[in-house]
Amino acid sequence: MNEKLKTLESKRLQLLKARGKDIKVALIVLLGALIFTFIGVSTEIMALIVVGVIGSIVALVFFGKSSTHASKYRKLIKNELIHLLLEEQFDNVVYEPNSHISIDRINGTGTIKRPDRFHGEDYIKGEYKGVTFEVSDVDLKERVETRDSKGNVHVSYQTYFKGRWYIYKYQKEFKEVLKIVEGRGSYANKKNLVKFETESMAFNKKFDIFASSKEFGFYLITSSMLEKLLELEALHRGSIVYCYQRNELHIGVNDRKDYMEFKIKTPISEETLDVFKGDIDLIPAIINEFRLDSSKFK
């Protein structure tokens, strides 16, 4: 691993240097373009204005070129490092940077509002302690209409859920459903479900619980599980939703975070890699803490 990190660090420095060079050229050309444009406008010399416009276009080209170096680095990390880290922890790993969990599966939980637009990436599938999992980044947007002072309608798409979606598949298939939603649960589909509370006041303030029956809810929600859910909530900004249905546990973490990202300015070393590994470590942590490999789920 150390040799691999050294090779990636060398490539990172090369791309960072090339990016810095392009940005420098872009700034110099842009400055010159602004000067020519200013002089041309002041003296009404069209030729200088044209030179300024051309210079601005050239500067934009170099700014665009500089961004491609960061894009190359992103692909380099995803293709050469992430899969390697995943294989160290999990069995039967599949990593597809441009794929994602389908929106139909997310909508099927009835825990969040259906989006008008959807984007996802960094799809991971694997197995840990006999439990199969799928994970991907998701970005859900809703259509918003606004009307200006002249009565014109403007349409935009605003993000209301951005983070990670986890699906854990265990052996046992339950006939009932349990949903745990942080907040007031206003977007949870509560049809044929009963709402109930736990003995934990702290938990009841954070989450709403809906289940096919209280008996099923309390079968899955133990005192230790309540502690784990609160600990997990404390680790993240935003909100979290859970849904046990059939033989799957869905967890949606709405924390406005881009996972599996390594910035080009960040040196690659064992120390910085530990922070990056945190995005991966949460996957087995949920299996361990929620005991999804226990007899209850077999």
pLDDT value at residue 200: 87
pLDDT value at residue 150: 82
Assigned domain for 147 exists = yes
Let me know whether 216 and 288 are in one domain.
Answer: yes
Residue 218's nearest CA partner among 198, 204, 244 is: 198
pLDDT value at residue 180: 92
Let me know whether 249 and 193 are in one domain.
Answer: yes
Let me know whether 49 and 179 are in one domain.
Answer: no
**What is the domain count for the chain?**
2
Per-residue model confidence as pLDDT tens for the chain (298 residues): 677 788 888 888 999 999 999 999 999 999 998 998 998 888 888 888 898 899 899 999 999 989 899 888 888 888 888 888 898 889 999 999 999 999 999 999 999 999 999 999 999 999 999 999 999 999 999 999 888 888 888 899 999 999 999 999 999 999 999 999 987 666 888 889 999 998 888 888 888 999 999 999 989 888 888 888 888 887 777 788 999 999 999 999 998 888 877 788 888 887 777 777 878 888 998 898 888 998 888 8
Let me know whether 99 and 62 are in one domain.
Answer: no
Task: Provide the domain limits for residue 184.
Answer: 92-297
Tally the residues of the chain.
Answer: 298
pLDDT value at residue 7: 85
Let me know whether 59 and 136 are in one domain.
Answer: no
Let me know whether 61 and 130 are in one domain.
Answer: no
Let me know whether 60 and 101 are in one domain.
Answer: no
Let me know whether 132 and 268 are in one domain.
Answer: yes
Residue 257's nearest CA partner among 121, 105, 155, 125 is: 121
Domain boundary among 19, 52, 78: 78
Let me know whether 36 and 128 are in one domain.
Answer: no
pLDDT value at residue 90: 93
Let me know whether 149 and 219 are in one domain.
Answer: yes
Let me know whether 71 and 134 are in one domain.
Answer: no
Domain boundary among 36, 56, 78: 78
Assigned domain for 281 exists = yes
What phi and psi values does residue 150 have, to the nearest 5 degrees?
-95, 0
Assigned domain for 239 exists = yes
Domain boundary among 78, 113, 136: 78
pLDDT value at residue 186: 66
pLDDT value at residue 185: 60
Assigned domain for 119 exists = yes
Residues 6+ apart with CB under 8 A from 124: 86, 93, 94, 95, 133, 134, 135, 136, 283
Let me know whether 149 and 196 are in one domain.
Answer: yes
Assigned domain for 84 exists = no
